[in-house]
Structure 1
Amino acid sequence: MDVRLSAVDAAGKGVPVQWQDEKLTLREPPLARSADIADVRAVQDEYGQTALQIRYRPEAHQRIHDGTAAMVGQRMAISVDGRVLMVATVQGPFAESMNLSGLTGSDAEALEKHITGSVPVKP
């Protein structure tokens, strides 16, 4: 399972991918990869909405913090095995974890299972 957190390059320099009806370009190398992930789970955010929380390993915290601090206001993509699952705008730097909000409970659970390898996401 190859999970990546990548910056979306507005200048079009990087790896071209499709997301919904939009063509994106993702910068290489990604900010985070599967090896950086310690845990993935569906949680409730501070507003009581379902979110997907991705916690990172301690050795990746500073690198991810620095990378996302430089990306505040810009878009990033979460991809699994080369397929973009979500694109979001970075609201602030993070290091220990990130929450992907705006998901239904079933979508968050499906993504959790897919990223952890429990159940494949339907195409």
Structure 2
Amino acid sequence: MREVDPDGRATLQWQGRSIAVKAPPMLTSADIVDVRAELDAAHQPVLELTFRKESAGRLLHATEALVGKQVALTVDDHVLSVATIAGPFGESMQVAGTNMSVAEVHDMARYIVHGGPAPPQQR
């Protein structure tokens, strides 16, 4: 996961547009313990990520400063989603409100865990 940087020069592609992101990423696959595609209380698909306890303090500190700002969820420089940080998190996070189908959220979870030749299709 990387902070979106409107003034940045390093860009990645997402939904047909360029997204500038800050480097290095604040979250890497080494921080992730579990990834799940779930349904929330309103039966909307969400992506849930659980992080290593050793990463929680660093993530909490980083995300406290990012509330209200956009971040890009990336794997190998492929942008999977761009979201606004609703509140600080340390041990887990949920990507919700993406207007993605259940199948698309499952594909995103599978891509994060297993990688693949291309990221899931975005609308």
TM-score range, shorter chain: 0.7 to 0.9
Displacement, 1:96? 0.9
Where in structure 2 are the equivalents of 1:1-123 lying within 5 Å? Answer: 5-13=1-9, 15-101=10-96, 102=98, 103-117=100-114, 121=119
Cα distance in 2, alignment partners of residues 34 and 51 from structure 1: 19
In percent, how many aligned pairs have the same letter? 36
**Under a length normalisation based on structure 1, what TM-score does the superposition of the two structures give?**
0.87
Change (3 A) 1:108 1:89: same
Gaps in structure 1 of 5+ consecutive residues:
none
Displacement, 1:119? 6.3
Q: How many residues matched?
A: 118
Deviations for 1:24-69, whole angstroms, at most 9, x for unmatched residues?
Answer: 1111111110100000001122332110101110000011111111
Gaps in structure 2 of 5+ consecutive residues:
none
Aligned-pair Cα RMSD in Å: 1.8
- Per residue, is there more strand in 1 or in 2? 1
Cα distance in 1, alignment partners of residues 37 and 101 from structure 2: 10
**Under a length normalisation based on structure 2, what TM-score does the superposition of the two structures give?**
0.87
